[in-house]
């Protein structure tokens, strides 16, 4: 960060999260496409010189979620936030230390930048981020005397008068390590929880005459944390609102924001339109001028420009190139690739298949483990029989081939360029380019049969 060097971010992610009632650590629960831990990590990666993560429960899982570029320390005994920070002392360096909770996803980079710059400008021993809220219950209260911060009292330890204070601690701090560590060594556990509170450092520093500063966030929502699944849902709703506001500002039309769900990890180009009940998840990218119809769900997929997704389509780990049309009611399973201007119609399922430019699979077909060339037409009811009960096999269909309706293509199989397959065929052998293949029983016509049958029934 400009003007601040040697900045260490310590993210506290060792809490039990008992109120989540989960087998998984709280920081791994997902909110709008990211684990809770992903939000402070994103800010830390933008601002910090060093990132330290304090882990506890399921430490290996948290390490995997955090990824590279992070130093880990383990808090084997969960004895409070002060004890957690103390575990990181050996790896923090001599520069300013920013402490973040692992479960506050709405904190913004701009607010944290303001906190760090204020800390550096004032030369404070500690600078805490506060918020003024209407309902402070459950949060630590900031204690002031003649406007100066004197300490923080946790909600469960506060007196009735202190509980009336509306300025709360957000558990976000910028700290000078030189006075921090001696002050932290003086913290005791004489509280209702029997824990070593990091908040007690503030009072210790203030009583010693050290400068303690506070920066108040303009948006109190940034202070909100997650303690249970109700709060997880409430914060997800706030985050979705922010995401949709940003997208609309960037030129995306969202017909009904109240019923549209877009993860924080999604990217959308301008002039794209999202209809009601659309869900976009994971590392999904939509290009410009796309239309996504009502009820469609797209996860971890990449769509080019001018792609039309008609209502009620499901895409997972798929690629769709410029100008293609999908649906309604189509299903693109992982590793499906739809080429430019191709058409995948209603009730079509693709799996691990590549559809060439301008090819058409209009309706009621299954195409799995296949390579379909350019300008191919696949008739209704066609299936690639790719599984023999043991292994999967590939079907290759050459450019401009025509597959008649209700055909079964038994892989491994190659159908040559420009070849035709007659409707209702079961094709088990390769078809040369330009050939016609018909694999069905010969038609039998018995003239007068219907009349004779009727006559026989009348006699009975």
Q: How many CA atoms lie within 13 A of 14 on its CB side?
A: 24
How far apart (Å, rounded) are the C-alpha atoms in residues 8 and 92? Answer: 6
Report angle CA 346, 348, 352 to the nearest 5 degrees.
145
Residue 90: name the closest of 69, 101, 74, 68 by CA.
74
Q: How many CA atoms lie within 13 A of 317 on its CB side?
A: 6
How far apart (Å, rounded) are the C-alpha atoms in residues 454 and 113? Answer: 89
All structural domains of the chain with their residue ranges? 8-223, 229-437
Average pLDDT over residues 428-456: 92
Q: What is the pLDDT of residue 67?
A: 93
Contacts of 412 (CB under 8 A, 6+ apart): 393, 394, 395
Only one residue has tokens 């199989």, namely 413
Residue 113: name the closest of 129, 101, 102 by CA.
129
Residue 154: name the closest of 77, 81, 229 by CA.
81
Q: What is the pLDDT of residue 203?
A: 95
User: 30-39, 76-85, 242-251: which has the minimum mean pLDDT?
Assistant: 76-85
pLDDT at position 3 over 80? no
Q: What is the pLDDT of residue 460?
A: 64
Q: Which two tokens stand for residue 311?
A: 């209502």
What does the pLDDT look like over 114-134, one tens digit per residue? 999 999 999 999 999 999 999
Widest pairwise Cα distance in the chain: 115
What does the pLDDT look like over 74-97, one tens digit per residue? 998 889 999 999 999 999 989 999
Distances (CA, A) of 46 to 39, 49, 346, 412: 11, 9, 44, 50
Residue 349: name the closest of 310, 383, 392 by CA.
383
Q: How many helices (H) and strands (E) does the chain have?
A: 8, 41
Q: What is the pLDDT of residue 414?
A: 98
What does the pLDDT look like over 253-266, one tens digit per residue? 999 999 999 999 99
For 154, list phi and psi in degrees, rounded to 5.
Answer: -70, 150
pLDDT at position 191 over 80? no
For residue 416, cis peptide bond before it (omega within 30 degrees of 0):
no
DSSP 217: -
Q: Please provide the average confidence, as pLDDT, over all residues in the chain.
A: 95
Q: Which two tokens stand for residue 366?
A: 């299954």
How far apart (Å, rounded) are the C-alpha atoms in residues 383 and 360? Answer: 14
Which pLDDT band, with edges at 50, 70 and 90, does 189 fall under? confident
Task: Using a pLDDT cut of 90, give the percent of the chain over it.
Answer: 88
Q: Please give the positions annotated as active site.
A: 363
3-state helix, strand, coil in the chain (%, to 5): 25, 30, 45
Which pLDDT band, with edges at 50, 70 and 90, does 100 fall under? very high
Which pLDDT band, with edges at 50, 70 and 90, does 219 fall under? very high
Using CB atoms within 10 Å of the CB of residue 398, give its burial: 0 to 12 exposed, 13 to 18 middle, 19+ buried: buried
Across-strand partners of 152?
142
pLDDT at position 333 over 70? yes
Q: Which two tokens stand for residue 271?
A: 């002039």
How far apart (Å, rounded) are the C-alpha atoms in residues 119 and 163? Answer: 27
Contacts of 404 (CB under 8 A, 6+ apart): 379, 382, 420, 421, 422, 423, 424, 425
In which element (H, E) is residue 343 found?
strand 343-346
pLDDT at position 187 over 70? yes
How far apart (Å, rounded) are the C-alpha atoms in residues 120 and 127? Answer: 9
**Whether the domain at 8-223 and the domain at 229-437 fall into the same CATH topology:** no
Contacts of 66 (CB under 8 A, 6+ apart): 37, 41, 53, 72
Average pLDDT over residues 184-202: 89
Assign domain 229-437 to its CATH architecture: 3 Solenoid (2.160)
How far apart (Å, rounded) are the C-alpha atoms in residues 352 and 12? Answer: 41
The CATH code belonging to domain 8-223 is: 3.90.550.10
Using CB atoms within 10 Å of the CB of residue 379, give its burial: 0 to 12 exposed, 13 to 18 middle, 19+ buried: buried
């Amino acid at each position: 960060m400009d003007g601040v060097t040697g900045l260490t971010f310590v993210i506290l992610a060792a809490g039990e999260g008992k109120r989540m009632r989960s087998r998984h650590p709280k920081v791994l629960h997902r909110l709008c496409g990211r684990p809770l831990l992903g939000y402070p990590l994103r800010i830390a990666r933008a601002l910090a010189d060093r990132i330290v993560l304090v882990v506890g429960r399921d430490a290996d899982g948290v390490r995997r979620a955090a990824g590279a570029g992070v130093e880990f320390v383990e808090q084997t005994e969960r004895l409070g936030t002060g004890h957690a920070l103390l575990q990181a002392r050996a790896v923090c360096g001599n520069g300013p230390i920013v402490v973040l909770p692992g479960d506050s996803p709405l904190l913004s980079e701009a607010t944290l930048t303001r906190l760090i710059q204020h800390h550096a400008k004032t030369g404070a021993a500690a600078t805490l981020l506060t918020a003024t809220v209407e309902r402070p219950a459950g949060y630590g209260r900031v204690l002031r005397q003649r406007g100066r911060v004197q300490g923080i009292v946790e909600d469960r330890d506060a007196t009735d008068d202190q509980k009336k204070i509306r300025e709360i601690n957000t558990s976000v701090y910028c700290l000078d390590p030189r006075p921090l560590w001696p002050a932290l060594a003086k913290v005791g556990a004489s509280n209702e929880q029997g824990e070593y509170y990091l908040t007690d450092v503030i009072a210790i520093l203030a009583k010693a005459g050290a400068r303690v500063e506070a920066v108040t966030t303009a948006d109190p929502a940034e202070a909100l944390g997650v303690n249970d699944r109700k709060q997880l849902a409430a914060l997800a709703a706030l985050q979705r609102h922010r995401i949709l506001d940003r997208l609309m500002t960037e030129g995306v039309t969202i017909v009904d924001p109240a019923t549209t769900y877009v993860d924080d990890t999604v990217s959308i180009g301008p002039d794209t339109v999202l209809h009601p009940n659309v869900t976009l998840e994971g590392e999904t990218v939509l290009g410009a001028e796309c239309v996504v119809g009502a009820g469609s769900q797209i996860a971890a997929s990449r769509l080019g420009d001018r792609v039309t997704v008609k209502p009620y389509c499901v895409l997972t780990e798929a690629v769709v190139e410029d100008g293609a049309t999908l649906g309604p009611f189509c299903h693109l399973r992982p590793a499906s690739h739809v080429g430019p201007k191709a058409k995948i119609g209603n009730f079509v399922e693709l799996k691990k298949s590549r559809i060439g430019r301008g090819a058409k699979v209009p309706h009621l077909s299954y195409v799995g483990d296949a390579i379909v060339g350019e300008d191919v037409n696949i008739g209704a009811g066609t299936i690639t029989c790719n599984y023999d009960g043991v292994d999967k096999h590939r079907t290759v269909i050459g450019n401009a081939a025509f597959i008649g309706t209700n055909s079964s293509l038994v892989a491994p199989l190659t159908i040559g360029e420009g070849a035709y397959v007659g409707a209702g065929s079961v094709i088990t052998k390769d078809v040369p380019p330009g050939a016609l293949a018909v694999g069905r029983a010969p038609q039998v016509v018995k003239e007068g049969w219907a009349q004779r049958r009727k006559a026989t029934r009348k006699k009975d």
